[in-house]
Structure 1
Amino acid sequence: MNTPLIDPFHRAVNYLRVSVTDRCDFRCVYCMSENMTFLPKKELLTLEELDRMCSTFVRLGVEKLRITGGEPLVRREIMTFFRSMKRHLDNGHLKELTLTTNGSQLERFAGELFDCGVRRVNISLDTIDEEKFAKITRWGRISQVLRGIDAAQEAGLRVKINAVALKGFNEDELFSLAEWCSSRDMDMTWIEVMPMGDLGNEDRLDQYWSLSDLRTRLASRYTLADLDERSGGPARYVRIEETGQKIGFITPMTHNFCESCNRVRLTCTGQLFMCLGQEDMVDLRAPLRDNRKGQGQLEAAIRAAIKLKPKGHDFDYSRQAVDGQMSRHMSHTGG
């Protein structure tokens, strides 16, 4: 094993999130425009190139690989990639292979994902109200997602629900979502909406619901016990004593969690973003495709990129304006 990836602030980078496509079969209002212009397919890394890229990161010490999108399961032949990544689980170099999905394709792929070594999935679901779900996803059908959840659990996958906290939209479902997840033996994580994409500052400010307020409301009904455990990501967890379930909070706005950041994000075009909340990136597609200097060129490019990882992001709503806004859509960087 090569020397591990250490950033300038002495944080070991052992978690890679990989967007395998910018396409999605939903158009969630905080993630995409309704009429998206997607990247030309020729710009995307091929599945073979994604394999080489991820395998290089694993060789450099990445132990957790999360596959994202867009919606990762709409990419053609994506299960070829999952089957290939299983070899890193089998040899012990990769500790976890998982994905974030909207759940729409899980009815088709849950069993095969389990066979490839995936043991847990995060499903993005902001409401269990059919009408509201159709509104926020624009094109989505909640019945399809619910069937996907059933299929995932039947296949043996551990399911966690991710919900973006949206003021005036799912505030009234705080307790019903928690109770629904508990009834299905699913943990849940709430995420503060982040200023990404070109939907407009006012939209994001109007949508913003502080998780400090959300947690206070949750504590008005339940007994919350703080947990020390981490899942490898930025969430902080509590246990609801009355049900035993875990609730996570991802708070890029009210609490900057950057001090423990151990992850970088690779786009489907081979751009490495060292921070979700910064525009700086390094193009890894060029050294990946340049065969003149061999594998060492890609490894050197990755190490150079990690040395540019910033201390933290600049997201800020505190002055009633959206500071630190990112021009790229969340679907481009990877959810």
Structure 2
Amino acid sequence: MVVSNAVRPKQDQSSSGLVDPFFRSVTYLRVSVTDRCDLRCSYCMSENMRFLPKKDLLSVAELDRLCTAFINRGVRKLRLTGGEPLVRKDFMSLVRILSRHLASGMLDELTLTTNGTQLAGAAAGLAEAGIRRVNVSLDTLDPDLFRSTTRGGDLQRVLDGIAAARKAGLLVKINTVALKGINEAEIPSLIRWSHALGMDITLIETMPLGDTGEDRTKQYLPLSEVRERLAETFTLHSLSERSGGPALYFSVAETSGRLGFITPLTHNFCENCNRVRLTCTGRLFMCLGQEDSVDLREVLRSTSDEAALDAAIVNAIQVKPRGHDFVIDRMRRKPTLGRHMSMTGG
């Protein structure tokens, strides 16, 4: 769906909150702490990725300063992502530092999205630091299919990570990318498995970001079709509740669980967008599907003046577009954007 990005007149930013040109309050910040990952999922990145030099990444202190600036401006939810966030060696230090905003009441939630491979060793520490739930990306329960789609991953490590997270008292939500001819037949069993363990599951359409070496016209599975098929097996009831993200949720009568759909292509969700994304190098993207961005690292490293950093953030929000322009079709095999998902953190 093509969305107009015409910018309206700037809004008054004298209050503490962040409001974009389309009167949407920005209360959700997603932060990529690294572009590195220990998997090579076929819809996410190429098999032979070239990652950023570690010197280009923001330090823990810099990430804390930026996140704190956003929190002081009304961000209430902070999600740490990657790449795979748990492969960053000082990740737990960052979590412990940021958790002070939970204790102060300035932040409602600090959470992360992970592929689960490192979760077994980190779950207890995450819970101690104040994290209450995690999203785990998992597209199949078939070990061989998992190995092929992730280009070498070990499914059991992810399952052990999920078990450890649940044991530590963390709520776990499963994120599953629906892939045509790959895992589409397995989706009903993934729903049953997740709900049997008390975990929500969200289905996601593959997004045309970065050259992965795969033909996305073959991978793309419209969730409108998936939902129609699921309705033949399950009784789905629409829910009005939202998680702060783009998912639309349904209750599944047969499993007593919750099922989400994130549909950036078949149904644009931009009208209620409340989030922006910060990369591990300090570049702020106002939209996952647009290239509009602002280099906050330059401001961060050029001055210790918090007012200057705050002004840069406020000005950045004023170029947040109305929505994205994701397209997947057989005439356009190249990705909509050259930037890989791991650069922006999903």
TM-score by length of structure 2 reads: 0.94
User: Which residue number corresponds to residue 227 of structure 1?
Assistant: 239
The one-letter code sitting in structure 2 at the alignment partner of 1:295 is E
RMSD value over aligned CA atoms? 1.4
CA deviation vs aligned residue, 1:90-127 (integer Å, no higher than 9, x gap):
00000000000000111101011011111110000000
CA contact (8 A) 1:104 1:145 kept: yes
- Encode CA deviations 1:20-45: one digit per residue, 9 max, x unaligned: 00011111111111111110111100
> Which residue of structure 1 lines up, in the alignment, with residue 141 of structure 2?
128
Q: Secondary structure at the match of 2:99?
A: helix
How far apart are residue 296 of structure 1 and its match? 1.1
1:65, 1:230 → 2: CA distance?
Answer: 16
Whole-angstrom distance in 2 between the partners of 1:49 and 1:2: 25
Which residue type is aligned with residue 205 of structure 2?
E
Q: CA deviation at 1:317?
A: 2.9
Q: Separation in 2 of the partners of 1:332 and 1:265?
A: 10
Give 3-state SS (helix, strand or coil) of 1:269's partner: coil
Aligned mates of 2:333, 2:67 — CA distance in 1: 34
Tell me whether 1:213 sits opposite 2:225 in the alignment.
yes
1:235 and 1:248 in contact (8 A); partners too? yes
Identify unmatched segments of 5+ residues in structure 2.
Answer: 1-13
Aligned position for 1:169 = 182
2:150 is the alignment partner of 1:137: yes
Aligned: 1:307 with 2:318: yes
The equivalent position to 1:328 in structure 2, one of 328, 334, 339, is 339
- Paired residue for 2:163, among 137, 146, 150? 150
Query: How far is 1:313 from its partner?
Result: 0.3
The total of aligned residue pairs comes to 333
Verify the 8 A CA contact 1:133 1:140 in the aligned structure 2: yes
Is the counterpart of residue 238 in structure 1 residue 234 in structure 2? no
**Contact 2:208–2:328 at 8 Å: present in 1 too?**
no
Same amino acid, percent of matched pairs:
60
**Equivalence for 2:6:** none
Once residues 185 and 46 of structure 1 are traced to their aligned partners in structure 2, the CA distance between those partners, rounded to angstroms, is 36
CA contact (8 A) 1:227 1:237 kept: yes
Give the CA deviation at 1:172: 1.1
Aligned to 1:282: 294
Alpha-carbon distance in 2 for matches of 1:10, 1:319: 36
Q: Give yes or no for the alignment of 1:295 onto 2:306.
A: yes
The CA distance in 2 between the partners of 1:149 and 1:206, in whole Å, is 30
Distance 1:136 1:308 in 2: 36
Structure 1 position 199, deviation (Å): 2.8
1:200-226: per-residue Cα shift (whole Å, max 9, x none)?
6x7111100000000011100010000
**Alpha-carbon distance in structure 2 between the residues aligned to 1:323 and 1:215:** 27
Partner of 1:31: 44
For residues 37-92 of structure 1, the C-alpha deviation after alignment (integer angstroms, 9 at most, x for no partner) is: 11011110001100111011100110000000000001012101000011100000
CA contact 1:315–1:322 (8 Å) conserved in 2 = no
Regions of 4+ moved over 6 Å: none
Q: Contact 1:29–1:136 at 8 Å: present in 2 too?
A: yes
Does residue 203 (structure 1) correspond to residue 211 (structure 2)? The answer is: no
Of 41-50 and 321-330, deviating more is 321-330
TM-score by length of 1: 0.97
